[in-house]
Amino acid sequence: HRVRLWGTDQAIAVSRSTAEQMRAKWGARDVELVYNGVDIPEVHAAVEQQRVPAEGGPRILSLSRLSPEKGIDVLLDAFAQLRVDYPQAHLEIAGSGDLASELQAQAQRLNLGDSVTFSGFVNPIEAMGRSDMIVQLSVWENCSYTLLDAKAAGLKTVATAVGGNPEILGADELVDRQSATLTQDVLQAMRAQLQKGEPEPFTWISNEQMAAQTVDIYARVLRGGRS
């Protein structure tokens, strides 16, 4: 990465956190910020078309690879405790990965039964349509499209305060990934979000704005300009 960056005229980062990492780790000289764009009305409408009315308790969704850095084991532990307050709660773990069998075994040890579904590869719009909240406990995210789409769709969210996540979510939606009480922190954050009313309207740059910002950077570099 360091060699590649020193051979470029301009670098683009999708979050402030990513830009800081590029400078600190690899000595990037010229880095400009262009967030990943999301077309909020289109995403919201698409998810609403797939909306499945809730018939029981809250429906939690994990939409990521089944790998250690995604923290799905922590989510399972927190969800098992959440069911004390919400006995009809349901957790959908979408995605595939090396930890699939291990996570399924964990769900069995926690006696979660059919309150957890391992759905494998899914259409994310359809999955969000049958969910009320997305929980994402990654070790790192640059600028998560999962969180952007969830916010655009009006879902409640809980995520780790890593990478670009704090640039998308509010403080009450974030948990410290390094906390010694991470499972309890996730549990409390989920409880707090479920007790809140409708989420505040979400604002973010559109795909058109993202493209325009990127084109502007390209044009300046081609003219020999700098950020």
Residue 32 lies in a domain: yes
Whether 67 and 148 map to the same domain: the answer is: yes
For position 145, what pLDDT does the model report? 97
Whether 150 and 185 map to the same domain: the answer is: yes
Residue 203 lies in a domain: no
Q: How far is CA 164 from the centre of its chain?
A: 10
3-state secondary structure of 119: strand
69-92 pLDDT per residue, tens: 999 999 999 999 999 999 999 999
Whether 148 and 215 map to the same domain: the answer is: no
Residue 200 lies in a domain: no
Kindly tell me if the per-residue pLDDT of 1 is higher than 80. Answer: yes
Task: Give the torsion sign (CA, 14, 98, 158, 152).
Answer: positive
Structural domain total, the chain? 2
For position 147, what pLDDT does the model report? 98
Domain of residue 17: give its range: 2-37+208-222
Dist CA 54 CA 215 (whole Å): 43
DSSP conformation letters of 44-89: HHHHHHT-----SS-EEEEES-SSGGG-HHHHHHHHHHHHHH-TT-
Whether 107 and 184 map to the same domain: the answer is: yes
Whether 11 and 64 map to the same domain: the answer is: no
Residue 158 lies in a domain: yes
For position 225, what pLDDT does the model report? 61
Whether 52 and 31 map to the same domain: the answer is: no
User: Residue 137 is part of a domain; what is its CATH number?
Assistant: 3.40.50.2000
135-144 pLDDT per residue, tens: 999 999 999 9
Whether 23 and 127 map to the same domain: the answer is: no
Whether 31 and 110 map to the same domain: the answer is: no
Dist CA 32 CA 15 (whole Å): 9
Whether 94 and 14 map to the same domain: the answer is: no
Least confident of 52-56, 87-91, 99-103: 52-56
The residue written with tokens 């996540």 in the block is: 165
Whether 114 and 145 map to the same domain: the answer is: yes
What is the chain's mean pLDDT, rounded? Answer: 95
Whether 122 and 180 map to the same domain: the answer is: yes
Dist CA 103 CA 153 (whole Å): 28
For position 106, what pLDDT does the model report? 98
Q: Closest Cα to residue 187, out of 87, 79, 92, 72?
A: 79
The β-bridge partners of 128 are none
Whether 53 and 161 map to the same domain: the answer is: yes
For position 4, what pLDDT does the model report? 86
For position 226, what pLDDT does the model report? 57
Residue 227 lies in a domain: no
